[in-house]
Amino acid sequence: MEYRIEHDSMGEVRVEKDRLWGAQTERSRNNFQIGKGHENMPEEIVYAFGRLKKAAAMANRELRPERMTEEKLDAICRACDEVTAGELDSHFPLVVWQTGSGTQSNMNANEVIANRGNQIAGEKILHPNDDVNMSQSSNDTFPTAMHIAAVTALEKRLIPAAEHLVNTMRRLERENEGIVKCGRTHLQDATPILFSQEISGWRSSIERDISLIRSAAEPLKELALGGTAVGTGLNAPAGFDELAARKLAELTGIGFRTAGNKFHALTSKDEIVFAHGALKALACDLMKIANDIRWLASGPRLGLGEISIPENEPGSSIMPGKVNPTQCEAVTMVAVQVMGNDTAVGMAASQGNFELNVFMPVCAYNFLQSTRLLTEVMISFDAHCVSGIRANRAKMDENMKRSLMLVTALNPYIGYENAAKTAKKAFSEGISLKEACIALGYLTEERFDEVFHPENMV
């Protein structure tokens, strides 16, 4: 292995010759062997750094042209584009479990962009701190990267996946119009419902979650960039915060803007907590929907069996022919993970002591994991389960007609208490509601047939 010598304010450090990072990245890589290869800084954060460093350089070119020359700007922008495109992923080795401010990941970005920019320029014109980190601090860049990554993940990936699932459910509603089935509350038989109405409840839940997530994404578009070390904007030129945010908005097509109060932006993570709460709401609804589907598909002979779902793989290594609702199980496991992540995000956000929160990497890691898992599980659930749901009309009709809660339709004619007696007699004696009602003398056979129409109860 060949090495080169890099240096920082603490002295010289050996770095592998073909690596673009510098001394500070190497120190962090050696000092934090925690979760290496498994819990690296999320790529979404790396790509966000690529975007914000480019925007910062563009703003500095306008505000500090004597320091940010056109040659330096070109080198930085081209290197940042490679970072954002994922072409330099192997040069970002740091783990989540590092300094709580994310300083070392900021320096990792500075060093990689500087060294790659120098390669592009063919000469050493860029310094990681003086040029790539100009007008910035780790304390304002890392929270900015968090927000860029979070909004991008929500608006570009998660919401489209949720909208596709909604469209699938809307199709299922149309396909299942007019099918009457037994409703259920408290896991007990209830009055009838249309299967399309049941599906509409699932659809509406996801639609509401999308609305909540869109609303929660708006505060995340406020950026800490320009606050520098403690929120005062020290070493950043006047107007840098607004201009850099505007450049970011142009680069990403997302309405980013500068935060009105940088002291809040550096120390508080309330926007992340609020947005993750919306993710938890989605996880809760997905848990409910997945459970409904696997209950309705339970069987195939001894369960509810009112719907069939795609058979994707064998379900048992010992029971031949067994098929399990595995997509539903994946959804519910993801939901549990997201609920756990919500606790971690909340705890991390509570640790904003004085002018800086120093739990940002773990906060970002959990938020982005939740977003990624929810996105991917919705795509999988949609493709391999929901899109293939089929109603078992015969079983739905059989279960509905056996439901004792159809007796509710008799309330206006024989009263609540007499209807209850009818249901209890039918259940205890194993007879129909009609037989029980006639035996109790509440209605004649003719009158019962006249007023008893379950299909009108929906």
Structure tokens at 380: 């999988």
How many Cα neighbours within 13 Å face the side chain of 289? 29
Active-site choice (9, 38, 186, 428): 186
Distance CA 13, CA 287 (A): 50
Give DSSP secondary structure letters for 12-54. Answer: EEEEETT----HHHHHHHHH--SSTTTSBPPHHHHHHHHHHHH
DSSP character string of 275-310: HHHHHHHHHHHHHHHHHHHHHHT--SSSS---EE--
Is the Cβ–Cβ distance between 113 and 125 less than 8 Å? no
What tokens does 102 get?
């994310």
Contact 217, 233 (CB under 8 A): no
Q: Which of 90, 211, 215, 316 is catalytic?
A: 316
How many other CB atoms are found less than 10 A from the CB of residue 169? 23
Report helix, strand or coil for 4.
Answer: strand
Hey, how many other C-beta atoms are within 10 angstroms of the C-beta on 452? 18
Annotation says 316 is catalytic:
yes
Return the active site residues: 186, 316
